[in-house]
Amino acid sequence: MQRIDKIYINGQFVTPHGEEWFSLYNPATEEVIGQVRLADAEDAKHAIAAAKAALPAFSRTSKAERIALLTRMRDALAARKDDLAEAIIEEYGAPAARSGWMTDFPVMAIESAIEQLKSYEFEKQAGNARVLMTPVGVAGLITPWNSDAGFICGKLATALSAGCTAVIKPSEMSALQTQIVTEALHAAGLPAGVFNIVTGRGEVVGAEMSNSNDVAKISFTGSTATGKAILRSAAESFKRVTLELGGKSPTIILDDANIEEAVPLAIAAGFINSGQACIAGTRILVPESRKVEFETALAQVVSQTHSGDPRDQHTDIGPMVSQKQWDRVQHYIQLGIDEGARVLSGGVGRPEGMVRGWCVKPTLFTDVRNDMTIAREEIFGPVLSIISYRDEAEAITIANDTQYGLSALVLTGNKARGARVAEQIESGRVLINTLEHEPKAPFGGVKHSGIGREMGVWGLEAFLEPKAILAAK
Ligand code: NAD
């Protein structure tokens, strides 16, 4: 049983003012594996003050100094990979293959930030004006539980690249992973106050950050509902915001797609991160003319998808992160049945033979209409819906008929056609016949999937304010 009783402020591990203890669970066994003492609003204020005090000196550091610091940060994270991998399985329940990627992701995210910083010019010329790209100020970074270390490191590395100092509010459910990240960042020897980590409740610590006049920007990844709350409070102080929110991503299988190639990609897109992914392709659009063929092939893969113990090498889908998340997924599966969708594989309850652990049956529905709740709301679990369409135009209409717009996948035998369809999809990112990630490209959503972009030059500039200086000739 681990007890985490410190938060990190001004270069030191300190006892929080907050006195609430929060239980940490192993989602595969439902056992309590730790306790974390949560920060409160008072702690958030101290963290913000420390970041504010560190800002003047840090914002004047050179590009070379920041690159050196980010390099130390990257190496320190790399040195803790094994510990992080263990915590990701224990506390989050990611199956082996996924936990490997989640362990590498923080290091890759810092590396991408370093590459971006190397090539970035902080001074530009616009006509007669010098344009200085200046750090926006203290950044509040608020992250979810579904990729704790990756989001903390990606956001922090970008904020520091820009010359901002930061207060990080990770999910309270990821305290074991956060502890390892904090220890690594401490070992990297960053100047005191440049980053501060206060694990606490969102409506307490997160709200204090979005209300504070001393926080100039919030970079948030999480649910659309929380994103709206942050946007409202940010208005009071004209805070800059980057909001990475939910999704209900379409996978459009065009009628010329090769079934052997398309089906594994469609399932992998839908079941990414055990279905607990903002980008998960949960609406699978198939041509009416090939509906039965795709139903059969998709159902065959889903029925062979193993949901269970994350430590079992054969497991594809790990448990849901919490009882609440398990209940939520069960609710939506039952709702799909009640709404008249047909279960091709899976259904309510635990996988056969399991009596504990928050595992769900990988579930595939067909005969789903796009106006059904299971096609409109983010389920955040391994539940996929097949929706049929008559022609390409209707496929595009259905794909776009959603309040979300984070990611989309087009599967086709014709690249040019895929590109033409991709251009018509309302989404921050569209993939064609691939699930590859490109860290140099912007990432973020349209509509209720968010505001702004992370990654690449777009991500860096989201932490910068242009200042134009004009002098008499
Ligand atoms: P959440 O919105 O409940 O919580 C995210 C973070 O916000 C947590 O740290 C939480 O404590 C904090 N928070 C909660 N209330 C707050 C408030 N009032 N003010 C400030 N902060 C507050 O989301 P979650 O359940 O942790 O994560 C799942 C959600 O995240 C899903 O909707 C998913 O789609 C989304 N997500 C989006 C992306 C993306 O890049 N677009 C990536 C991963 C997850």
The 10s digit of each residue's pLDDT in 202-220 is: 999 999 999 999 999 999 9
- Ligand 1 atom closest to the Cα of residue 201 is 11
426 Cα–ligand 1 center, Å: 22
| Inter-residue contact 450 to 230 (CB < 8 Å) | no
Q: Please give the model's pTM, rounded to 2 decimal places.
A: 0.98
First-to-last alpha carbon distance for the chain, in angstroms, is: 69
List the residue whose alpha carbon is closest to atom 14 of ligand 1. Answer: 202
Tell me what pLDDT residue 149 has.
98
Structure letter (DSSP) for residue 208: H
439 Cα–ligand 1 center, Å: 21
104-134 pLDDT, tens per residue?
999 999 999 999 999 999 999 999 999 999 9
User: Does residue 379 have its Cβ closer than 6 Å to ligand 1?
Assistant: no
User: Does residue 175 have its Cβ closer than 6 Å to ligand 1?
Assistant: no
List the residue whose alpha carbon is closest to atom 20 of ligand 1. Answer: 206
Intervals of the chain under pLDDT 70: none
User: Does residue 464 have its Cβ closer than 6 Å to ligand 1?
Assistant: no
Tell me what pLDDT residue 162 has.
99
18-51 pLDDT, tens per residue?
999 999 999 999 999 999 999 999 999 999 999 9
User: Does residue 174 have its Cβ closer than 6 Å to ligand 1?
Assistant: no
User: Does residue 341 have its Cβ closer than 6 Å to ligand 1?
Assistant: no
Instruction: Calculate ∠ Cα 303-309-315, nearest 5°.
Output: 45
Active site residues: 244
414 Cα–ligand 1 center, Å: 37
388 Cα–ligand 1 center, Å: 31
Q: What are phi and psi of 372, to 5 degrees?
A: -75, 150
List the residue whose alpha carbon is closest to atom 42 of ligand 1. Answer: 278
61 Cα–ligand 1 center, Å: 32
| Inter-residue contact 39 to 16 (CB < 8 Å) | yes
Please report how many Cα atoms fall inside a 13 Å half-sphere around the Cα of residue 313, on the Cβ side: 0
| Inter-residue contact 132 to 159 (CB < 8 Å) | no
User: Does residue 24 have its Cβ closer than 6 Å to ligand 1?
Assistant: no
